[in-house]
């Protein structure tokens, strides 16, 4: 049962509760085996849910923690990202799985013809989960805009905690 103000999104035998104000958008290339969906919030924030074959993830990462570290490293090494700092990491119990949760702050460079190069402070939240029962991996993440509501991390965690992978 979704908490008040939330609805349940369910597809391919996994589900997540999301705020009823969201617009949902599938990547048109999504399939049962792999894909992603975006939850668009009215204030322009987005939460993404990606999935794929667990076998593919396990070829590269022995654990969801290694998978999460790789994702953080890719972001850290991005040329548009400066002053990357992980500000929180935790292990959450999600649908009988231990899954790493990370929160990072960074500055993102953006080029504009009129104003030159500018930086904006961003925050990234992510959860990586490997599920043997469904033979899938899942990544739930968001890259917050500088104007994101202060309680968005709590909302993100509400969504993450409601996730069901099998």
pLDDT-derived band at 141 (thresholds 50, 70, 90) equals very high
Nearest to 101 by CA among 43, 159, 34: 159
- 6-161 maps to CATH 3.40.1000.10: yes
Task: Give SS3 for 161.
Answer: helix
Structure tokens of 117? 């190069």
The DSSP line for 14-28 is: EEEEEETT-EEEE-T
Chain segment 73-118, per-residue pLDDT in tens: 999 999 999 999 999 999 999 999 999 999 999 999 876 666 667 8
Per-residue pLDDT band at 3 (split at 50, 70, 90): confident
Instruction: Give the residue-averaged pLDDT of 145-161.
Output: 94
pLDDT score, position 146 = 84
Q: Which of 93, 123, 92 is nearest to 108 (CA)?
A: 123
Q: How far apart are CA 95 and CA 159, in angstroms?
A: 12
Quick one: pLDDT at residue 2?
A: 75
Q: What is residue 114's predicted lDDT score, i.e. its pLDDT?
A: 67
pTM above 0.85, yes or no: yes
Check residue 2 and report its DSSP letter.
Answer: P
Other C-beta atoms closer than 10 Å to the C-beta of 117 total 9
């Amino acid at each position: 049962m979704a908490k008040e103000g939330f609805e349940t999104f369910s597809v391919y035998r996994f589900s997540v509760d999301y705020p009823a104000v969201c617009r949902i958008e599938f990547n048109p290339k999504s399939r049962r085996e792999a894909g992603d969906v975006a939850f668009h919030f009215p204030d322009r924030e987005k939460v993404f849910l990606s999935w794929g074959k667990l076998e593919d993830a396990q070829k590269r990462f022995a654990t969801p923690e290694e998978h999460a570290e790789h994702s953080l490293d890719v972001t850290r090494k991005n040329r548009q990202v400066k002053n990357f700092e992980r500000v929180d990491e935790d292990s959450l119990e999600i649908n009988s799985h231990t899954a790493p949760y990370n929160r990072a702050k960074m500055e993102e460079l953006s080029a504009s013809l009129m104003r030159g190069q500018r930086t904006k402070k961003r925050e990234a939240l992510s959860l990586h989960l490997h599920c043997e029962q469904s033979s899938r991996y899942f990544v739930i993440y968001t890259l917050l805009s500088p104007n994101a509501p202060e309680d968005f991390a709590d909302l993100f965690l509400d969504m993450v905690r409601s996730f069901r992978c099998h």
